[in-house]
Structure 1
Amino acid sequence: MTAEYSAHHLQVLEGLEAVRKRPGMYIGSTDSRGLMHCLWEIIDNSVDEALGGHGTKIDIVLHADGSVEVRDRARGIPVDVEPRTGLTGVEVVFTKLHAGGKFGGGSYAASGGLHGVGASVVNALSERLDVQVDRGGKTYEMSFHRGEPGTFAGSTPDSPFTPFEKSSELRVVGKAARGVTGTRIRYWADRQIFTKDAEFGLTELEQRARQTAFLVPGLEIVIIDERGDEPTSTSYKYDGGISEFADFLAPDPAITDTWRLTGAGTFTETVPVLQASGAMVPTEVERECHVDVALRWGNGYETVTRSFVNIIATPKGGTHQAGFEQGLVKVLRAQIEANARRLKVGKDKPEKDDMLAGLTAVLTVRVPEPQFEGQTKEVLGTPAVRQIVNAVVTKELTARFASTKRDDKNQTALLLDKVVSEMKARISARAHKETQRRKNALESSSLPAKLADCRTNDVADSELFIVEGDSALGTAKNARNSEYQALLPIRGKILNVQKASVSDMLSNAECAAIIQVIGAGSGRSFDLEAARYGKIILMSDADVDGAHIRTLLLTLFFRYMRPLIEDGRVYAAVPPLHRVVVVNPGSKPNETIYTYSEQELHTLLAKLRKSNRRWLEPVQRYKGLGEMDADQLATTTMERNGRMLRRVRVQDAEMAASVFELLMGSDVAPRRDFIVSSSDRLDREAIDA
């Protein structure tokens, strides 16, 4: 470091150099998330074309060599020369930041690409990018190496590359059929930029493709994955739009139909417009904002909302979501006040959370040149959209409550009953919590008699083992460290709470005991700060029944105590499957080795054979925790310095919810299809019978 600091120390990053120097500014990160963001930028350009009525199919191909290709049948990137730069439209799009057809030139009424940096950023962060365009009966092609146009001598990123020197060339490489237009982009992400473990996630890609197909009715998106032993192809196409999307997202049985609220509004805003002279002149323009909402309520308490601007997801909300919630709360409060006597509300006031409980909603707005907060476009900032969405939701929802149709009247009455019941449950839970806080230690010690509690008051250091069966409890009592390890036995398989109602769950002795011992409540009233233990460890037998019990317990935690999983407090104990006693020569004591899978056992035995070492036969196979003595259980499963725990996490709550519903839900047909389709993956020898 030097104390001198002058203009000579300043750097001016030209063109795409800035992107390569600070990629996180444009794509968020350089791991898998940033890699996927690059792909979204290319896909969204094709979707914007489909949104404008150009093209009805998009192909996404994950090639075996690590490249990805996006193909559409839209208008194709312009191939003529852009007059200001003297470059073809293809080169402008892929090499110039803040260049494109979405700055109000009339090519797009509403689009997701707004800043003109998407394609050029992907190009800058790619080791190689090839683009082919079908227009005017010809096929044009151009290649780039880390953002620089030129020609490759082969078909791979490692092929010799010759950059253009005096002028660029958009080559004509073939003929296109009459009337056929479209764009094909294939690129190899630059491993100098992205981390080694960054990869395209098929599951995430399928979710995004499904979401886009819902948002653009009639658009077909095909994903072809050529990376495995056998290529796979998945197609998504929905004609029902966001109504189908809301039904797909809903986690619970419905108490209302899926209602559609649509409308539009206009607003004026002053924006800087670039004049021919190069000056930016503030100009007042009129915008039109189209609002489309699909919503339904179910009998659960979870809230699922998805918001979009020009089909770009805004996971952190923005002015459109604020307007939606404002209109919703205003209408429901007015309706509850109007029906206060029938609903027996009294002086209590419903809150927003009471109204959002059980709601599944998809909110979309289409507006020219929306203002996002940053290139990642996670928050909408256009102020006028809030009032327009508020007005549309207020008008349409009020009309629904005023409807004289029998179905509408029945459903709106059920909805008001649900909101009021949620309000009363919240007030009751709060009163109960206040009562519990006022109790002294003696009064609050009414924990289940079968709980073997620990002595420490340090929540972070404490552990609750939920143990399968009383037989394992006896061994575990002798194996535990009673200073910080508590034990709660359960009798066999608890209630399947995915099918059961809340009242059935609470009346079940085992479920009620678990909730009472953890001490943080359940459902919407769950308070993570009140949990009595820092770790919840599920300790079941290493057999099929043990796995079933663990699944039932996880279903209970997922449905009613999900913050514990999200905070990383729920674990599954990993008891050993085998105990191998290795015979040592002479008077040296024998060595005991535990293995945790069949493969690990076979590897160990092969290693012992190779070194001419013997072991006692037969090898002990543990089928239950009760087969271990206290020392064995402590050493392998309970002592912190020797055990192995598997942390349970919810990386994707939506995916996890669908898996729980498939395995534990009341709909049998999908579960049967899953079992039949997956049966060929099961080794008959692996069945523990």
Structure 2
Amino acid sequence: MSNNDYSARHLSVLEGLEAVRKRPGMYIGSTDSRGLMHCLWEIIDNSVDEALAGHGNRIEVTLHKDGSVEVTDKARGIPVDIEPKTGLSGVEVVFTKLHAGGKFGSGSYAASGGLHGVGASVVNALSQRLDVEVDRGGKTYAMSFRRGEPGIFDDKKGIKPDNPFKPFEDGSILREVGKVGKNVTGTRVRYWVDPQIFIKDAVFALEELSARARQTAFLVPGLSLGINDARDGKSSKQEFKFDGGIIEYAEYLAKDPALTSTWRLSGTGSFTETVPVLDASGNMVSKEVERSCDVDIAVRWGTGYDTDVKSYVNIIATPKGGTHIQGFEQSLLKTLRTQIESNARKLKVGNDKVEKEDVLAGLTAVVTVRLAEPQFEGQTKEILGTPAVKNIVANVVAKSLTARFASSKRDDKAQSALLLEKVVAEMKSRISARSHKETQRRKNALESSSLPTKLVDCRTQDTAGSELFIVEGDSALGTAKLARDSEFQALLPIRGKILNVQKASISDMLSNAECASIIQVIGAGSGRSFDLDSARYGKVILMSDADVDGAHIRTLLLTLFFRYMRPLVEAGRVFAAVPPLHRVEVVNAGSKANEVIYTYSQAELEDLLKKLEKAGKRYKEPIQRYKGLGEMDADQLAETTMDKNARSLRRVRVEDAAAAETVFELLMGNEVAPRRDFIIDSADGFERERIDA
């Protein structure tokens, strides 16, 4: 069947939309910003599938000022002829029928991302209004929907989602609204999300959209993606187009100097699977079909220790992995173990065995597979479930890597030797770290003397309820000793600014007294050997002054936790204390005691003084301005920062580890130029009043 023979008879209709609005989470994961973005991916992925099939090389996404979003492509256009089983136009079938599309064994797509056929219809069901225009056969066709129901909006006063709407009654009409050149084809979808479904705070995240567009441009060489953000009235445009494919993608992702060049591992495998298909009479029957799976992988090892593996199925990201990643990691470990065993004497390995974490250290990889009708676990497509893919990927990796290690080229030999040496060094480092960790388990009361002498420990043995305050300076420590509850609050003072661990090596970090004592006191190790269950305290609270230096110290500490004790941050057990900036004593008339109010910013203080003035209340002058924690007496420190019943704490969260990694590298890393550019670009938006000078 010709690829261009794509018409409504390919569309297989299975069921309606009622369940989608009732349980949207089943289809898009959630009804917050994440679900909102998932809807947008569904529409974009349909256009990308067309580009993958060789139709169209341009996709544009526009975020409009009125809250709507529009996706435009120059592909074949959705079929406009009548689908024989339903008697509806192809456009209406695609946007109103669940599990209907050109991806159910029709031959229109060899490999597609939106395989469930629910994407467009789910977005339609969850939209207050959706407009679709199709250029096909020299004409422009249009159709509009309200919450999944087709009909016509009265747009005399402009296009709005809440305009009067008249649903079709006898039969649907696909309107002809214009003419185009005979060879002009494409689809435009614009929709307004339904406020009855999505929470008020749900917004389209431009950074996430840009990252996804960049990723897609890497994965589909030659495809051009444009993003236009017109939400604030100004047009902000971005363009993405890459011709280097996944090799260029892996090099873009890599943050450390290269140990090996970027290697490409590619191949094809086939498998059979039993799938349900519709026969000529419309009944569902089981049929055994032959499938092929194309594997294309880019791998590159660097001198660093972090692992970054991105995986995709038909260019759809699978952040939680699946059978393709299982096959990749299993084969990588097996192949490198074989190579190390055959060079055991030269590498001085002994009887120790290389583990997966040793092989993955410093690895940046992009793993892509393409196959028809992949099985995913759930509609959000985060995990690939097709079992046969595991062995196909494993075979391709084993074959390609073994050939690379057997290569007689001088460059390949040198890189292979460096890689094996790195993996063995990682193995030895892991074994050494494990031995060290076993001797550093939480000390009992008799052994506590081996902890740093400056630690002021608490009495409780209950980890969950205990708190460790990392305090800036000895003056604050003296006050904190009197303010704390010694039953469950421990104190560890640090002197000034600790080492910036984003720039330093592991050995420099461990030899730094302040960093080493923090790691030792927490007692759970560091880096990849960090064991969250061994942490000696339930909460770690960073308590620094409310000034620029205090903020810098807090940032340096957060860099240490993010880089070497990240599970503690991810578990939500790291907090920043919020000490007040001002203490206002309100004078009460008569014998009534004066009232003390603390404020945490200049704006909050000004608001408070205005309210007091309006209420005719006096306050003592001068207002006390805290420059540091040491200026507070014990009662004030307890009341504002340490007493569980009165204090304010800010929990440090890592919602997006990749974004956080980028920010830490930008602000704290070795590259000065990007940081300088960031400071210059952000200077205009900075409030000068925040500078504590």
TM-score (normalised: structure 1): 0.95
State how 1:537-576 maps to structure 2 within 5 Å: 537-576=541-580
Where 1:243 maps in the other structure, the secondary structure is helix
Answer yes or no: is the 8 Å Cα contact 2:258–2:303 preserved in 1.
yes
Q: Provide the secondary structure at the position in 2 that maps to 1:270.
A: strand
- Residue deviations 1:432-451, cap 9 Å, x none? 34445598753453011111
Instruction: Report the counterpart of residue 139 of structure 1 in structure 2.
Output: 140
- Cα distance in 1 for partners of 2:555, 2:363 equals 27
- CA distance in structure 2 between the aligned counterparts of 1:354 and 1:441, rounded to whole angstroms: 36
CA distance in 1, matches of 2:650, 2:659: 19
Q: Distance in 2 between matches of 1:95 and 1:591?
A: 63
- Would you say 1:662 and 2:666 are equivalent positions? yes
**C-alpha distance in structure 1 between counterparts of 2:441 and 2:30, whole Å:** 45
Question: In structure 1, how many angstroms separate the alpha carbons of the residues matched to 2:608 and 2:402?
Answer: 71
From 348, 361, 380, give the equivalent of 2:365.
Answer: 361
CA shift, 1:59, in A, is: 1.5
Q: Does 1:634 align with 2:638?
A: yes
Q: Deviations over 1:379-401 (max 9, x none)?
A: 22222222211111111111221
**Corresponding residue of 1:615:** 619
Q: CA deviation at 1:16?
A: 1.6
| Residue number among 315, 322, 325 corresponding to 1:318 in the alignment | 322
Q: Does 1:265 align with 2:269?
A: yes
Instruction: Report deviation, 1:174.
Output: 1.2
Q: How far has the Cα of 1:145 moved from its partner?
A: 1.5
Deviates more, 1:315-324 or 1:502-511: 315-324
Gaps in structure 1 of 5+ consecutive residues? 1-12
CA deviations 1:143-187 (Å, max 9, x no partner) are 112222111112222211111122211111112234221111111
Q: Deviations over 1:467-514 (max 9, x none)?
A: 111121111112211111111111111111001000000000000010
Correspondence 1:159 to 2:163:
yes
Worse-matched range after superposition: 469-478 or 21-30: 21-30
Change (3 A) 1:444 1:591: closer
1:47-104 deviations in whole A, cap 9, x for unaligned? 1011112222211122222222111111111112222322211111111222211122
The whole-number CA distance in structure 1 between the counterparts of 2:481 and 2:65 is 54
Q: Secondary structure in 2 aligned to 1:222? A: strand
Counterpart of 2:116 in structure 1: which amino acid? H
CA distance in 2, matches of 1:278, 1:229: 51
Secondary structure of 1:445's counterpart equals helix
| Deviation at residue 226 of structure 1 after TM alignment | 2.4
- Alignment of 1:182 with 2:186, yes or no, is yes
1:73-472 equivalent positions in 2, closer than 5 A:
73-154=74-155, 155-228=159-232, 230-436=234-440, 442-443=446-447, 445-472=449-476
CA contact (8 A) 2:258 2:302 kept: yes
Using the TM superposition, give the Cα deviation of residue 302 of structure 1 relative to its aligned residue in structure 2, in angstroms: 2.4
User: Identity of paired residues, percent?
Assistant: 76
User: What is the aligned partner in structure 2 of residue 5 from structure 1?
Assistant: none
- TM-superposed deviation, 1:413: 1.6
> Quick one: distance in 2 between partners of 1:229 and 1:645?
37
Which residue in 1 is equivalent to 2:69?
A: 68
Select between 250-259 and 214-223 the one with higher mean Cα deviation. Answer: 250-259
Amino acid at match of 1:131: V
SS in structure 2 at match of 1:188: strand
| Aligned CA-pair RMSD | 1.9
Alpha-carbon distance in structure 2 between the residues aligned to 1:409 and 1:460: 52
Gaps of 5+ in 2: 1-13
One-letter amino acid matched to 2:335? V
Aligned counterparts of 1:590 and 1:540: Cα–Cα separation in 2:
29
Structure 2 CA distance for aligned equivalents of residues 621 and 601 of structure 1: 11
> C-alpha offsets along residues 620-640 of structure 1, whole Å, 9 cap, x if unaligned?
221111221222111111111
Instruction: Measure, in 1, the Cα distance between the counterparts of 2:379 and 2:338.
Output: 39
Note if 1:603 corresponds to 2:604. no
**Structure-2 change in CA distance of 1:426 and 1:441 (3 Å):** farther
Task: Evaluate the alpha carbon distance shift between residue 598 and residue 230 of structure 1 in structure 2; reply closer, same or farther with a 3 A threshold.
Answer: farther
Q: 1:683 aligned to 2:684?
A: no
Q: Deviations over 1:392-419 (max 9, x none)?
A: 1111111221223333222222211121
How many residues are matched? 677
Amino acid at match of 1:688: D
Report the alpha carbon displacement of residue 321 of structure 1 after superposing the two structures with TM: 1.2
CA contact (8 A) 2:254 2:364 kept: yes
- Matched residue of 2:312: which SS? strand
- Give yes or no for contact 1:436–1:444 (8 Å, CA) kept in 2: no
Which is worse superposed, 71-80 or 648-657? 71-80
Quick check: 2:441–2:524 contact (8 Å CA) kept in 1? no
- Give, in whole Å, the separation in 1 of the partners of 2:630 and 2:467: 20
Q: What is the deviation of 1:672?
A: 0.8
Tell me: CA distance 1:21–1:440, structure 2 relative to 1, closer, same or farther (3 Å): closer
Measured in 2, the distance between the counterparts of 1:156 and 1:436 equals 65
The whole-number CA distance in structure 2 between the counterparts of 1:653 and 1:104 is 38
SS of 2:218 mapped into structure 1: helix
Against the structure 1 CA distance between its residues 24 and 590, is the aligned structure 2 distance closer, same or farther, given a 3 Å change threshold? closer
CA distance in 2, matches of 1:258, 1:556: 30
Cα 1:517–1:435 shift into 2, 3 Å:
closer
Distance in 1 separating the partners of 2:412 and 2:330: 22
Deviation at 1:31, TM superposition (A): 2.9
**CA displacement 1:353-378 (0-9 Å, x = unmatched):** 22112222110001112222232222
Partner of 1:20 in structure 2? 21
- Secondary structure, aligned partner of 2:653: coil
Cα separation, 2, equivalents of 1:482 and 1:97:
61
Letter in 1 for 2:95: F
The 2-side partners of 1:340 and 1:528 are apart by 34
In structure 2, how many angstroms separate the alpha carbons of the residues matched to 1:529 and 1:659? 28
Q: Give the structure 1 partner of residue 495 of structure 2.
A: 491
**Separation (CA, whole Å) in 2 of partners of 1:616 and 1:599:** 19
Q: 1:68 is aligned with what amino acid?
A: V
Contact 2:223 2:242 in 1 (8 A): yes
Instruction: Tell me the SS of whatever aligns to 2:311.
Output: strand
Shift of 1:320: 1.2
Whether the 8 Å contact between 1:251 and 1:657 is mirrored in structure 2 is: no
For the 8 Å contact 2:28–2:380, the answer to whether it is kept is yes
What residue number does 1:527 align with?
A: 531
TM-score (norm 2): 0.94
CA contact (8 A) 2:328 2:397 kept: yes
Structure 2 partner of 1:4: none
Greater Cα offset, 168-177 or 244-253: 244-253
Secondary structure at the aligned position of 2:331 is classed as helix
Give the deviation of 1:519 after TM superposition.
Answer: 0.7
Tell me which moved more, 656-665 or 431-440: 431-440
Alignment correspondent of 1:56: 57
How many Å separate the matches in 2 of 1:406 and 1:14?
A: 60
- The AA in structure 2 aligned to 1:227 is R
- 8 A contact 1:301–1:524 mirrored in 2: no
Contact 1:466 1:537 in 2 (8 A): yes
2:154 partner amino acid? A
- 1:73 and 1:438 map into 2 onto residues whose CA distance is 63
